[in-house]
């Protein structure tokens, strides 16, 4: 790993690093916040945060205001980038924001030209945690959270790896990507035409099969993407069908922005802390 920056924050440290990813075949950057208790020799649990379309690790760390409560709870925060980057990494030919760079959708791509680099699912589930647990004073107690595309990623990762995460939360997740424009565009590109493969990355499809990882989802009712892209009702229907432990809250007046995330991030981190 190569250090990029280090800033003291609420008694702990916000650090950024780059490293060569063997999974993504490119250089990746990520951020980690280490709470003050690590200076006392203590190891701490980790909340992984997955960001949305067009974002990098910096959006969450700079805008969400999560470090204050992470310092209080004694939890590390880890935020990866949202896609592979660099020369030779495939991108949308038209430069669209919802495919290619900044839009990895946390899947393992199987179709060309994406398959060589776009293995974000394996990066988030395997390679990055192994790196974090090797080089930082953290335990193997993990939780996962995210926003929009990252909310989709957090939910699908938790649902497919029940024993690996103690809890999952999401803000404004893409809840039923097999049935929305963002999901259909990304999945048809990254995964091809086999819609059975698409369903492996759909939180509503997975949640309908059951599970026991506690989940909290917040959705703003003033979100411009609510009806066409996010479809939280599909997630609630799936949870009702299987009896999944989902708490889905529709928050009046809130939109899709980081103002929304900053308003409720403390509740999400406390939710995770209750399940460690």
What residues are annotated to the active site? 148, 223, 256
Evaluate whether 53 touches 103 at the Cβ level (below 8 Å): yes
Structure-token pair, residue 70 = 């992470």
pTM of the predicted model as reported, rounded to 2 decimal places: 0.97
Residue 218's Cβ-count burial label (10 Å; 0-12, 13-18, 19+) is: buried
Order of strands across the sheet with 2-9? 2-9, 12-21, 26-34, 76-80, 44-50, 138-147, 168-171, 215-220, 246-251
Q: How far apart are CA 77 and CA 137, in angstroms?
A: 12
> pLDDT by residue for the chain (276 residues), tens digit each?
999 999 999 999 999 999 999 999 999 999 999 999 999 999 999 999 999 999 999 999 999 999 999 999 999 999 999 999 999 999 999 999 999 999 999 999 999 999 999 999 999 999 999 999 999 999 999 999 999 999 999 999 999 998 999 999 999 999 999 999 999 999 999 999 999 999 999 999 999 999 999 999 999 999 999 999 999 999 999 999 999 999 999 999 999 999 999 999 999 999 999 999
Q: How distant, in Å, are the alpha carbons of 153, 182, 269 from that of 107?
A: 8, 14, 25
Helix (H, G, I), strand (E, B) or coil at 125: helix
Structure-token pair, residue 28 = 């990746």
Structure-token pair, residue 245 = 């432990």
């Amino acid at each position: 790993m190569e250090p990029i920056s280090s800033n003291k924050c609420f008694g702990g440290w916000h650090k950024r690093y780059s490293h060569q990813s063997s999974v993504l075949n490119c250089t990746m950057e990520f951020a980690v916040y280490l709470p003050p208790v690590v200076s006392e020799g203590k190891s701490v649990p980790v909340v992984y945060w997955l960001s949305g379309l067009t974002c990098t690790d910096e959006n969450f760390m700079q805008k969400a205001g999560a470090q204050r409560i992470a310092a209080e709870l004694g939890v590390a925060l880890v935020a990866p980038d949202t896609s592979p980057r660099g020369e030779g990494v495939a991108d949308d030919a038209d430069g669209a924001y919802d495919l290619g760079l900044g839009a990895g959708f946390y899947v393992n791509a199987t179709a060309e030209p994406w398959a060589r680099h776009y293995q974000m699912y394996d990066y988030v589930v395997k390679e990055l945690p192994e790196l974090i647990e090797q080089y930082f004073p953290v335990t193997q107690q993990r939780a996962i959270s995210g926003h929009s595309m990252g909310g989709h990623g957090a939910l699908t990762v938790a649902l497919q790896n029940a024993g690996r995460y103690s809890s999952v939360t999401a803000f404004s997740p893409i809840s039923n990507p097999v049935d929305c424009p963002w999901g259909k565009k990304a999945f048809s590109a990254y995964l091809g035409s086999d819609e059975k493969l698409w369903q492996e990355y759909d939180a509503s499809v997975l949640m309908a099969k059951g599970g026991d990882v506690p989940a909290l989802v917040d959705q703003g009712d003033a979100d411009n993407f609510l009806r066409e892209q996010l479809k939280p009702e599909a997630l609630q229907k799936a949870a009702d069908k299987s009896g999944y432990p989902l708490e889905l809250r529709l928050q009046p007046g809130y939109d899709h922005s980081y103002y929304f995330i900053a308003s409720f991030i403390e509740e999400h981190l406390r939710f995770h802390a209750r399940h460690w």
